[in-house]
Structure 1
Amino acid sequence: MTTGFDTSKPSPARIYDYILGGKDNFAADRAYADQVMQVFPEGSQLAWANRRFMWRSVRFCAEQVGQIVDIGTGIPTVPNVAEVAAKVNPDAVVVGVDNDPVVLSHGRALLRGEGVRIVPGDVREPERIIADLDGVVDWSKPVALVLIAVLHFVSDEEDPHRVVAAFRERLAPGSLLVASHATFEGVSGPTLERIGNVNAKAPVPLRLRPVAEIESLFAGTELVEPGVVDVNLWHPDEESGPRVDLRVLGGVARISRNIT
């Protein structure tokens, strides 16, 4: 029996699931994650900081819009985007998009709520995702587009700005853009060296970008206060935790008009 994918190759989504304490991963994912954690033990703390930013930003979005599209949704570790949104807006339509077969399989099995969909798609192909979601998402109405910890896996050649622009141009006024992305600025030399060693063996390398370049991903939008900041500083709560010596920046922005 063929599974349709190679379980011997680690996947970013399943590695992330393992680091967060999930069980939807394979030996290759766990082995790679363990190697990473030996080099960068702060990785778990950083993953949780990013996860908590997702919780807070999705709650913010669900209070204002009725549709949420989560690109690179990952394994639906509890609480996931759909669950967070449902607590604020039980009628919200939530669509998770991912290119990992395990994510798609487990997401469809676990996320059975009305208005929740898990569909295949790759962030590098925004036009295809938009077309595939026609009929599922009403693009004429506001949508919260969630790009949590996904754009730093898009290479310069694949151009994360092109990706964001394609989605932004389709979003109706009143829509919201959520994104988080790792940066090398403000990170110590020894930590950057450790990350370089990890990246050299990574199935999908992490692209650390300058703060200004990450901020420019929000071009053409109106940033919600406090702007693009360390994820633990975006509307922090008692669970936000301290920043570790690898910075992930996050922000939420509003689409006030369609960009042409």
Structure 2
Amino acid sequence: MDKIKTSDYRVDQTIHLKDIATLNMLSSTEKKLKKRLRDTRDKLSKLQDVFYAHNKYSVLICFQGMDTAGKDSLIREVFQDFNSRGVVVHSFKTPTFKEKQHDYLWRHYVALPERGKFGVFNRTHYENVLVTRVHPEYIIGENIPGINSVEDIDEKFWESRFEQINNFEKHLVANGTIIFKFFLHLSKEEQKNRLLRRLIREDKNWKFSPGDLEERELWDKYQDYYEKAINNTSSKEAPWYIIPADNKKAARAIVADILYDELKVIEEVQYPTLDPSIKSQIEHYKQVLNQQ
């Protein structure tokens, strides 16, 4: 079975999405991919328990991708063996009225995982340099001083947002959050197939919205802005990983392997040692319990 090299997916230099493959089968059958994921998922769940007990680091896992890229099913499949007390999934939709009364990062900040826990963001703070860039009129709704019309939103505005996001993530890392950012890289042809499947299968109809087709017409813009966002915000502290997403099972296996390979090497994360005064009395406590 293919060995996944994290470095093959991590963004360490300027990338062009059109040059990056959207399909990787890992030279495996679907049956082998499912088994691979089960094995890694089991190891991840055990590792999660250690992080929870250690209670010093939190892990933030961010997923971005075009509609139908497979974010929901990937999250369901990769994290299903986690203890529910140690993982929280947030799916960010259109900002609410209350959220708009704060800066654009606020709703993400308050959803960050506590120490010892894993937080999964299904769509992330990057929507604020993606969707809002394709639809700059959304920025007006943020009621930002000095931004009164779309004409006020220039290239310096987006550069400033990239800097703010980088500073936000740098602050999190410095205070014990380990960040993974995954872009599920889907081809336009595969998106068409998945949208057609939503229309053909009655059990998938509910997922379809005419708005999906309107956004699909803006495909090239989205690809351009994803590329700009990734190139401006992939750092050593909070790297982006570009995951070929045309095959869902392979994408899930790759994400799970990257998470496990990167987290298992943090030697500091161990189960806490028992207080010596308690440890020295273990046999006594056993006797007490056996007599009760």
Q: Is the TM value for this pair above 0.5?
A: no
Larger Rg: 2
Comparing both structures, which one devotes a greater share of its residues to helix? Answer: 2
